[in-house]
Amino acid sequence: MDPQTVLQRAVEAHVRLVRFLYCDNGGIIRGKATHINGLVRRMAEGIGQTLAMQAFASIDALAAVEGMGPVGEFRLVPDPTTFVILPYAPNSAMMLCDMLTLERQPWAACPRTFLKRMVATAAQMGMVMQAAVEHEFYLARATPTGYESFDRSLCYSSVGFDASARIIDDVIAALERQGLQVEQFMPELGPGQQELSIHHADALRAADNALLVRETVRGVAQQHGVIASFAAKPFLDQAGNGAHIHCSLWGAPGAAHAGYNLLFDPRGRGGISQMGFHFIGGVLAHLPALVALTCASPNSYRRLLPHFWSSAYTAYGFDNREGAIRIPSAFWGREAESTNLEFKPADHSGNPYLALGGLLAAGLDGIRRQLDPGEPVDLDPGNLSDTERARRGITRLPTSLDAALDALQADTVLTAALGPLLTSAYVAVKRLESRYFADKPPEEEARQHFCKY
């Protein structure tokens, strides 16, 4: 869409403000808005933002990163293809942005640019990644001391469907008006917990869509006087909120096997190709570091527990919901098309551009080095003895954000993919968040994470 077409659509919808949004290193969606009078001009010029914002943590405090202080700025330049009218805010629209330097170059600290780079690397290897996120969230209400669940419904129960029906119908209508295709909805395990999934798209669009869903669910819930929480573990004694990533790899246009699902091989074990197993091998090899990007908050590590179906070990398996990677059984008659991998240790505190880019970088490394993922696991790895897990090469995922960051800093593949500036800014931001919550009681930590995402 060219700027004039965007302007025309905005005028027709009586838009006054167009938000220029991005997701920062703290996983927070932030931005500034332009009045429609300056829209066309600002689509080319961008909106100025201080360099410090990529060192800004999710506690609204600045981490110490060289060059990210009070001096200097970058420009938020919107991607016009992401333009949507906001169904939950009056006369408002938004676009998602890339971060450009004043020399009009992609800024090395821009997460969306990082994902674009990983997508380009995959394309060089003849591959395109398709992805979709399962969005789990709680509907809740504020109380004088914290938050309480919106209802007491049971897992998948029709009572839950009824309790949330009006809100969810408005959410789905709002998503449809923004061009998103909803696949499934269900009342999840936790009281007031919901799950919504969106049709898959190429990796960049899938990450954009994940932000769009967060914005929309939060916005619509607010219109109903309810709070939507995307925190990883908003209620310490209930199921966590995952953002499981489903992904598949397809032959890139012009490459060998263009348009074919490269994960699928009817002769392969369980219908999975050798390349698919190498991809899994790469993800498992980098998993302790990767979770620093996909489970990005101190609160995330209260979710990654054995027996909560969130995954807690470096294991994978066919239809195994305790595996960090589940290979879901393909759909009848659509085997080639529907074969995909589900990556479970991900939640909405992870910036989706970093999460998907990191996942892609890890998997591609597995393909390049032909890594062997070992044997699939067909039981709950949490029920195995330590000795048995060690024998199978299964290890516990990091149990804190700091432990995950240690692994990330030691992972030369992921840090090289991120580049030095994004790595140092990201780690500094996350270390600051970790330090801030280190001496806070878990209840306070959960309370402060409740509404961030």
Contacts of 423 (CB under 8 A, 6+ apart): 408, 409, 415
Q: Enumerate the β-bridge partners of residue 76.
A: 47, 99
Q: Total binding residues for ligand GLU by CB under 6 A?
A: 10
Q: Scanning residues 123 to 152, which ones bind ligand GLU (CB under 6 A)?
A: 136
Other beta carbons within 10 angstroms of residue 300's beta carbon come to: 30
Partner whose binding site includes residue 240, from Mg ion, ligand GLU, none (CB under 5 to 8 Å by kind): ligand GLU
Q: Give the distance between the most distant pair of CA atoms in the chain.
A: 66
Comparing CB distances to Mg ion, the nearer of 151 and 195 is: 195
The Cα-based distances of 182 to 19, 81, 302 in angstroms read: 24, 19, 29
322 lies in the binding site for Mg ion (CB under 5 A): no
- Closest separation between CB of residue 386 and ligand GLU, Å? 24
Partner whose binding site includes residue 426, from Mg ion, ligand GLU, none (CB under 5 to 8 Å by kind): none
How far apart are the C-alpha atoms of 34 and 48, rounded to whole Å? 11
- Closest separation between CB of residue 326 and ligand GLU, Å? 9
Q: Among 258-266, 306-314, 424-432, 440-448, which window interacts with ligand GLU (CB under 6 A)?
A: 306-314
Q: Enumerate the β-bridge partners of residue 313.
A: 396
Return the half-sphere exposure (C-beta side, CA atoms, 13 A cut-off) of residue 44: 7
DSSP H helices, 381-441, are 386-391, 401-410, 412-418, 420-438
- Closest separation between CB of residue 233 and ligand GLU, Å? 8
Q: Scanning residues 182 to 201, which ones bind Mg ion (CB under 5 A)?
A: 195
- DSSP assignment of 398-409, as one string? PSSHHHHHHHHH
- Closest separation between CB of residue 438 and ligand GLU, Å? 23
- Closest separation between CB of residue 231 and ligand GLU, Å? 11
- Closest separation between CB of residue 376 and ligand GLU, Å? 18
Torsions phi, psi for 34 (to 5 deg): -105, 145
Binding mask 312-331 for ligand GLU (x = CB under 6 A): ---------x----------
Comparing CB distances to ligand GLU, the nearer of 289 and 304 is: 304
Comparing CB distances to Mg ion, the nearer of 171 and 422 is: 171
Amino acid occupying residue 403 = A
Where does 204-310 show beta strands of DSSP type E?
227-229, 245-251
> Token digits for 271?
């219908």
Judged by DSSP in three states, 119 sits in: helix
Q: Among 6-14, 294-302, 308-316, 381-389, which window interacts with ligand GLU (CB under 6 A)?
A: 308-316
User: Which residue, judged by CB position, is nearest to ligand GLU in the bound state?
Assistant: 242
Partner whose binding site includes residue 303, from Mg ion, ligand GLU, none (CB under 5 to 8 Å by kind): ligand GLU
Q: Scanning residues 229 to 268, which ones bind ligand GLU (CB under 6 A)?
A: 239-240, 242
Question: Is the CB of residue 262 less than 8 Å from the CB of residue 251?
Answer: yes
Partner whose binding site includes residue 239, from ligand GLU, Mg ion, none (CB under 5 to 8 Å by kind): ligand GLU
Question: Is the CB of residue 452 less than 8 Å from the CB of residue 27?
Answer: yes
Residue that has been written with the tokens 């696949």 in this structure: 183
Partner whose binding site includes residue 342, from Mg ion, ligand GLU, none (CB under 5 to 8 Å by kind): none
Partner whose binding site includes residue 453, from Mg ion, ligand GLU, none (CB under 5 to 8 Å by kind): none
> Token digits for 303?
């979710």
Comparing CB distances to Mg ion, the nearer of 231 and 422 is: 231
Q: How does 267-286 read in b/e, with b if 16+ C-beta sit within 10 Å?
A: eeeebbbebbbbbbbbbbbb
Partner whose binding site includes residue 380, from Mg ion, ligand GLU, none (CB under 5 to 8 Å by kind): none
Binding residues for Mg ion, rule: CB under 5 A, are 195
Interacting residues with ligand GLU (CB under 6 A) = 136, 239-240, 242, 303, 308-310, 321, 344
